Structure 1
Amino acid sequence: MNFLITYLFLSIGVLMAQDEFNTNVSINSAVVIRSRSMSVDFWTPERMKAAKEPVVILPPNGKNTSRSFSISNNGPQATILGRTPAATSPLGRALNVRGRYVATTGRVFWSCSVNIMSYCSASVVASTSGDVIVTAGHCVYDTSTLQWLTNCNWIFVPAYYNGTAPYGKWPAREVAALTSWTQSSPNYNNDVGFVALSLLNGRHITELTGSQSVGFNYPRNQPTYSFGYPLNLDQGEILQVCTGIPGVSKYTTNGYAGQGLSNCYMTGGCSGGPWLQQFDESTGIGVTYSVNSFTYSLAPNTINGPVFDSNIQSLWNYITAR
């Protein structure tokens, strides 16, 4: 028997196969081949506000820039601390007043056809390069076409608000996801993608926005804040939040081991938004340990998210210095 799940950036359902998930833990990475200026210039305020359904039509005969790397799967709980915005940046000083979560959370956009514009949520996390964001795997890779979305006018807009990009539009330069996600029968335990962004005016994104800490193998059932831009609330134009203590996901088919955050009414558009533990409301700082992934028809008003385990840590280890 198949159960209906829904990507949080979708308004339609998809069916998951009943086969056991592929346990292969290796990394699939791609260098972005789309012109940086073309990606940024494409996204006018009108197009950003019009982005809704993530229907992807990829251009044919795209250049193959993918490659795979083996990784390990072990390790204790680990935390990589985020950073504050650069003290020399007037934007950074302003962000300290508003709370870091406002600046580090934003929307990612892509369009593989001029008339089809899609979006998800994402956030800036700690990295060696100062350029890395995290989102859901299905916001960077289309498992139906087996193609990277990051070659389709893909950008990140931190602190997105009602068609505006207060801290700029940031194109991607490299993307990475686990190969257990980048296949036709993906492993939803690994619905995570990390993206290394290009510099903007010679600066790293964390110089302007700061970054959230990122945690791996964190304890479950802890107070959690989930952020995102769902279509059903303010048309996805304003950042929203759900809070609570997640429990075991009601979706347990195929070895899914993620958590479910109940009493949350965010729907399509919040995919990829961060789950934070140890969140301080006065500063907007916490530890990112999961992302919004999917909803499940038998557990309404519940967001499911994968726990960042050692596999996801290996993925971060790869992208952090890219």
Structure 2
Amino acid sequence: MGVCPRHLTAGETVRTAGKTDRRLRLGSTGIWAGSADSLPAVALRQAAVAVEDLGYRTLWLQEATGREAMAQAGILLSATRRIVLATGSADIYARDAVTTAAAQGTLDEAFPGRFLLGLWGSHPSLAEDVRGHRFGPPVETMRAYLDALDTAPFGPPAATASPHRVLSALDPAMLALAGERAWGAHVLGMPVEHTRTARAVLGPDALLTVTQFCVLHPNRAQAAELARSVATAALPNRHGLLRDLGYADAIDDRLVAALVAAGSAADVAERVEEHRAAGADHVSLHVVTATPSAPPIEQWRDLAAHLPLD
């Protein structure tokens, strides 16, 4: 088991299994590149450079049916100099554990201290309809995958098993596994109340990173409409968890406001601080716009002026 001390943002030395490991500095606030697959590769590389130049320390990538996560991470690590690339949702049905271990070892060797593996247990439709696998019980399947990852026989010649991993987790059982078998957890698109719950499940020492949906738009009505569409798309996978937190099943204004920080950069910064007060070590921002084919660089710049990045 490897755990990461809280407050990585201060650049503390990570200790895993009683041995000092190299530092992996995520910073206080990062960027979630949720629309990365909508961008041509050239534009995506330019966006990654912009994120780094603005002072963010971590860029998070998702994996669904678009680009392959490990290849994309390597491309963007090559295009940048300092930033950490994190696969927020590398699908465990996309690669066997041996391949994932070899890919992580390769990136760790080539870019020391700049790659964070975030594993995701996928979704039944993606695993079965898209990838042609049989979707298994999430926690048991993830545990078996981690077992295979830890004992993978192949990789770069001098590589050892890397502790640089988090699990994408929403429900308590997966959060508990993340605290047991990884640095900690990554939580995508949940209210501040869930951050507090996740911290209680993980305990005080595990890393907790969360991604906050946000909409920055000068027109209040258009911002509200876009925020509602984001909340509507997020709701199906979160019904039960949100109900447990006291939210109604319907998409009402309270639920939209809890899931999406809409307004000014100062409003988003306030939500980030709420997550941190609730126990998050690092908050990444998924800036949603009406034009996903264009990176929201101006919004990222505006947010960087209002947020702690180190």
Q: TM-score, normalised by structure 1?
A: 0.26
**TM-score of the pair, normalised by structure 2:** 0.27
Structure whose residues are more often strand by fraction: 1
Higher helix share: 2
